[in-house]
Structure 1
Amino acid sequence: MDTDKSGEVTKITIQEPKTDTKGKGTSGASAPVIVATKAAQHPRKGWKKGVAIFDLVLRLSAIAAGFAATSLMGTTDQTLPFFTQFFQFHAEFNDVPTFLFFMIANAIASGYLVLSLPFSIVCIVRPHAAGPRLLLIILDSVVMGLTISAASATAAIVYLAHNGNSSTNWNPFCQQFNDFCQQVSSAVVASFITSTLLLSLVVLSAFALRKMK
């Protein structure tokens, strides 16, 4: 038995010469017959299982980043210390519709990632199953688009709040509500990390599906 470079196993079989009913050898068959056959070797499953395990680790990291972005935005509010009994300055995340959309989008992304964990585990148990990977790559792409759109829209608002716009006489909001802006900025960074991890999941699943062909 020999193995070639393509990963196929060459099997060599030695057959004894046939004899007739009287025990005499068949004419012209004085030597054993050597038959060479090839049997395809099963592809190794080790690297596919490693990809599936890495997929699970990325999902857990994305869940942590998504929940961090959601909780940071959902708890963002600040009241300025100088106020009277009838007048005070207070800012809360739901005062800006974009911030509310951001929180809902990241909550949806985090919930989806939690629900996707069983499918990721199935890919570890069955590394050659293409169905779960195809489903994950489609849903990951949709959620990634939702997360990136929410993070990008919020980043534009945060930039405007930090720097203002002299052309429209909009003063920087963060000069007064610095803590508010810092927490929102941290939420945006966490959301972009979630988006990056989702992009990595899409690329990883596409690579795994390509290698299955």
Structure 2
Amino acid sequence: MDLEHGSSRKPSAAPAAAATPTTCNKLLRDRLAAVQPAVLRAAAALATAVAAAVMALNTQSYTAVVAIVGTRPLTQTFTAKFRDTPAFVYFVIANAIAGVYNLLVLIIRRLILRRRTSSLVVQMLDMVIMALLATGAATAASMAELGKNGNLHARWNPMCDKFGSFCSRGGIAIVSSFIGVVLMLALNLLSAASNAHRPNVAGQ
């Protein structure tokens, strides 16, 4: 009888051993799914913070001869600053808001995950921040193109030949902001995919 009991216990131990790798794989997938949004959000916070800082600190002066009195040249210094262009001011504000927002979400992330209502609010705010970033980057890019190439029809001369460093740093800030837009878009897509998957899981 003992042998019979022993032989009957062996099949029951096999499913338990087989279920262990499945459980581990599921836990690993859950952890990766939880870490992925955090990595994307951290990268978005970094990209937008860099964009805001580079543009906010962007300034360059240029001295040109405007007249000659006798043998003495008269010079005038021109300074390019982001504050002189409303589009760049909006760009800095939008990226600063996005950077602070993503940092705050990362800090209180554990509290958000525990409450479904808070998670939905964050998802809606993610869409708002993405729209804010996209409009800020687009307006700054349009002004950057105007500064680089000018407008022959309006007789606006390009300025990047005189303020090369200002334009280069501005370009870096704009590229960094567009990277932030792409990362925020990825976050929104992940949120949409997770929301679309939840009803299926509940139905099962």
TM band (smaller chain): 0.7 to 0.9
Return the offset for 1:86: 6.7
Question: Which residue of 2 is the match for residue 35 of structure 1?
Answer: none
Percent sequence identity over matched residues?
Answer: 33
Root mean square deviation, CA, Å: 2.6
User: Does residue 69 of the first structure (1) align with residue 58 of the second (2)?
Assistant: no
Separation (CA, whole Å) in 1 of partners of 2:160 and 2:84: 15
| Alignment TM-score, normalising by the size of structure 2 | 0.76
Task: Work out whether residues 133 and 205 of structure 1, in 8 Å CA contact, stay in contact via their aligned partners in 2.
Answer: no
Report the AA paired with residue 102 of structure 1.
F
User: Does residue 183 of the first structure (1) align with residue 169 of the second (2)?
Assistant: yes
Q: Deviations over 1:15-68 (max 9, x none)?
A: xxxxxxxxxxxxxxxxxxxxxxxxxxxxx5543332221000111111110110
- Structure 2: give runs of 5+ residues left out of the alignment: 1-11, 16-25, 66-72, 200-204
Return the offset for 1:96: 0.7
Larger radius of gyration: 1
Aligned to 2:77, what secondary structure does the other structure show?
A: coil
* Match 2:38 to one of 51, 56, 63: 56
Question: Which residue of 1 is the match for residue 119 of structure 2?
Answer: 133
Separation (CA, whole Å) in 2 of partners of 1:123 and 1:54: 16
Question: Which residue of 2 is the match for residue 92 of structure 1?
Answer: 81
Task: Work out whether residues 72 and 187 of structure 1, in 8 Å CA contact, stay in contact via their aligned partners in 2.
Answer: yes
Separation (CA, whole Å) in 2 of partners of 1:207 and 1:68: 29
User: Does residue 197 of the first structure (1) align with residue 183 of the second (2)?
Assistant: yes
CA distance 1:101–1:134, shift in 2 (3 Å): same
Return the offset for 1:121: 3.4
CA distance 1:181–1:135, shift in 2 (3 Å): same
Task: Work out whether residues 119 and 132 of structure 1, in 8 Å CA contact, stay in contact via their aligned partners in 2.
Answer: no
CA distance 1:174–1:130, shift in 2 (3 Å): same
Q: Deviations over 1:106-148 (max 9, x none)?
A: 1011110011114433467x5xx64343222101000000000
Return the offset for 1:82: 4.5
Separation (CA, whole Å) in 2 of partners of 1:136 and 1:51: 17
Matches within 5 A, 1:1-213: 44=26, 46-82=28-64, 87-122=76-111, 130-213=116-199
Report the AA paired with residue 160 of structure 1.
L
Corresponding residue pairs, total: 173
Aligned to 2:152, what secondary structure does the other structure show?
A: coil
Aligned to 2:136, what secondary structure does the other structure show?
A: helix
Task: Work out whether residues 52 and 96 of structure 2, in 8 Å CA contact, stay in contact via their aligned partners in 1.
Answer: yes
Separation (CA, whole Å) in 2 of partners of 1:212 and 1:146: 28
Report the AA paired with residue 58 of structure 1.
L
